Amino acid sequence: MNKQILIVEDENDCAELLRYHLQKENYQTVVARNGEEAIDAVQCHKLDAVLLDVMLPELSGWEVCRILRESSKGKSLPIIMLTALSDEESRVKGLSLGADDYLAKPYSMKELLLKVRKHLDRQDAVRQCTARAQEQDTALQYMIHEMRNAMTVIGGYSSVALKKADPRIYLKPIHTAAAHAESLLNDASLLSRLESGGSLPLETVDIVDMVRDVVDTFHDGTNKKRQEIVIMNFRPCRIRVNRTAARQVLVNLLSNAKKYSSQSSRIWIYFDEHPETVSLSIKDEGCGIPQDELTRIFRKYYRAQGSERVKGAGLGLYIVHLLVKSMGGKITVTSEQGAGSTFTVSFVKADAASHDPAGAPA
Ligand code: ADP
């Protein structure tokens, strides 16, 4: 959407000239003829910057600037003051009241437009940083909350178990919570390693052993939704991966398949062997993903519409994508809303990697 600029100017001709040049640059404009109108306009419109004349009737531009800086909507708006007063004292006064820039009349329209562009670009950068920081904070809060829940379960059930003659019945929730905590920590440590430019050491792993091991953890835990994981057409095959990362890929995809599917549904894991790679497809009967969001779900913090009811931070698939790529593999998804999703991930076979120098251990 085009940026919207508030022109605060009591002189008709000046206001019209500014409006004409700003609109020529594709900005939308709102004009206020005095200080009161300017303050109202900031409350009522979604503005991106203010051009503020100082010499206004009644409320001066200085006053307007001060009031805007104290209001929630005006405190971070770029304000450029325009005035016939060009002395140093006026400039300093404008800037100390919170204006971002200052132009003395008569000003060059070219210079004014450049200043507007510069302040809008800076504001965009600040908005992006703020949005990113908020997303990071939400994700961090989610992880802390999940970790705390897991520790509460582990601590609570283990202290009860210690007092019982047969503590085995208390082990299931402890086991599930510990696996969840481990998964959160793996996500966090693998993510920080890859995002800071690090690589993952590769080793040869039997894909069948790895899949069975992960599926057993899911079956051993509390299966409140009574979902079943079915492994199809498996044949032993050795792949060249980082064991923790490959495991985490599977854990994240299976957790999502469970999270986004209903009670008693089934999840299938298919195995497909190609000359150089092996692919695993995790297919569920869950809510599915809207087609127009399929390319976005691997972005950091992205959550598809309708996911609000399910707990999450929008990090799982982003991490899966990073991990798979770092091991030379690929991930794809197909989905139908209301019918389910299939995530297919490919890993490089160990014998293919030994012929390829790029697949050599890190
Ligand atoms: P989270 O599950 O924490 O939101 P993810 O990065 O794992 O984050 O997934 C991103 C989004 O992709 C989810 O919010 C959800 O909308 C969608 N999604 C992922 N896996 C599935 C699935 N198996 N079924 C339906 N939607 C899914």
Boundaries of domain holding 60: 4-107
pLDDT at 87: 76
Structure letter (DSSP) for residue 59:
S
pLDDT at 83: 84
pLDDT at 112: 97
pLDDT at 218: 83
CB under 6 Å to ligand 1: residues? 256-257, 260, 284, 286-289, 297, 302-304, 307, 312-318, 341
Q: Dihedrals φ, ψ of 328, to 5°?
A: 80, 15
* Whether residue 184 sits in one domain with residue 46: no
Distance CA(319)–CA(253), nearest Å, equals: 11
Write out pLDDT tens, residues 289-343: 999 999 999 999 999 998 988 989 999 999 999 999 999 999 999 999 999 999 9
pLDDT at 135: 86
Tokens found for residue 189: 């440590």
In SS3 terms, 190-221 reads as HHHHHHCCCCCCCEEEEHHHHHHHHHHHHHHC
**Atom 8 of ligand 1 has which residue's CA nearest to it?**
314
Ligand 1 centroid–CA 185 distance in Å is 19
DSSP string covering 115-177, please?
HHHHHHHHHHHHHHHHHHHHHHHHHHHHHHHHHHHHHHHHHHHHHHHHTSS-GGGGHHHHHHH
**Atom 20 of ligand 1 has which residue's CA nearest to it?**
256
Ligand 1 centroid–CA 256 distance in Å is 6
In a domain, 39, yes or no: yes
Number of domain units in the chain? 2
CA 312 to ligand 1: nearest atom: 3
pLDDT at 92: 83
* Whether residue 166 sits in one domain with residue 21: no
In a domain, 114, yes or no: no
Write out pLDDT tens, residues 207-240: 999 999 999 888 776 677 889 999 997 888 999 9
pLDDT at 145: 86
* Whether residue 96 sits in one domain with residue 184: no
Domain boundary among 90, 107, 124: 107
Distance CA(69)–CA(64), nearest Å, equals: 9
* Whether residue 180 sits in one domain with residue 90: no
* Whether residue 157 sits in one domain with residue 10: no
Whether residue 256 contacts residue 219, with contact meaning beta carbons closer than 8 Å, is answered with no
Tokens found for residue 309: 């009811």
Q: Find the farthest-apart pair of alpha carbons in the chain and give their distance in angstroms, rounded.
A: 91
CATH code of 49's domain: 3.40.50.2300
**Atom 23 of ligand 1 has which residue's CA nearest to it?**
257
Ligand 1 centroid–CA 246 distance in Å is 18
**To 5 degrees, how large is the angle CA 171–CA 172–CA 178?**
85
Read off the pLDDT band of 361 (50, 70, 90): very low
Quick one: average pLDDT of 349-362? 62
Peptide bond into 201 cis (omega under 30): no
* Whether residue 47 sits in one domain with residue 149: no
CA 304 to ligand 1: nearest atom: 16
Quick one: average pLDDT of 189-213? 93
In a domain, 131, yes or no: no
In a domain, 254, yes or no: yes
Q: Is the pLDDT of residue 243 over 70?
A: yes
Alpha carbon separation from 50 to 30, 98, 295 (Å, rounded): 9, 12, 38
**Atom 14 of ligand 1 has which residue's CA nearest to it?**
303
In a domain, 248, yes or no: yes
Q: What's at 69, amino acid-wise?
A: R
* Whether residue 334 sits in one domain with residue 293: yes
In a domain, 129, yes or no: no
Ligand 1 centroid–CA 299 distance in Å is 11
DSSP, collapsed to helix, strand or coil, labels residue 323 as: helix
Distance CA(351)–CA(87), nearest Å, equals: 77
Using a pLDDT cut of 70, give the percent of the chain over it.
Answer: 96
Ligand 1 centroid–CA 309 distance in Å is 12
Q: Is the pLDDT of residue 355 over 70?
A: no
| Nearest of 101, 118, 112 to residue 21 by alpha carbon | 112
CA 305 to ligand 1: nearest atom: 16
Q: Which of 248, 307, 318 to mutate to test ligand 1, by most ligand atoms within 8 A of the CB atom?
A: 307
Read off the pLDDT band of 354 (50, 70, 90): low
pLDDT at 188: 92
Distance CA(36)–CA(14), nearest Å, equals: 19
* Whether residue 223 sits in one domain with residue 146: yes
CA 252 to ligand 1: nearest atom: 7
CA 257 to ligand 1: nearest atom: 23
Question: Helices 109-162 and 12-24: crossing angle, nearest 10°?
Answer: 70
**Atom 21 of ligand 1 has which residue's CA nearest to it?**
256
pLDDT at 85: 73
Q: Is the pLDDT of residue 162 over 50?
A: yes
Read off the pLDDT band of 144 (50, 70, 90): very high
More confident site: 361 or 120: 120
pLDDT at 359: 44
Whether residue 328 contacts residue 316, with contact meaning beta carbons closer than 8 Å, is answered with no
Ligand 1 centroid–CA 126 distance in Å is 28
* Whether residue 100 sits in one domain with residue 152: no
Ligand 1 centroid–CA 331 distance in Å is 14
**Atom 13 of ligand 1 has which residue's CA nearest to it?**
303
pLDDT at 356: 53
In a domain, 362, yes or no: no
* Whether residue 289 sits in one domain with residue 249: yes
Ligand 1 centroid–CA 242 distance in Å is 23
Quick one: average pLDDT of 16-26? 97
Q: Which of 70-84, 129-143, 144-158, 267-281 has the lowest mean pLDDT?
A: 129-143
In a domain, 154, yes or no: yes
* Whether residue 249 sits in one domain with residue 314: yes
CATH code of 277's domain: 3.30.565.10
* Whether residue 157 sits in one domain with residue 89: no
What is the overall mean pLDDT for the chain?
91
Question: Helices 243-259 and 171-195: crossing angle, nearest 10°?
Answer: 120
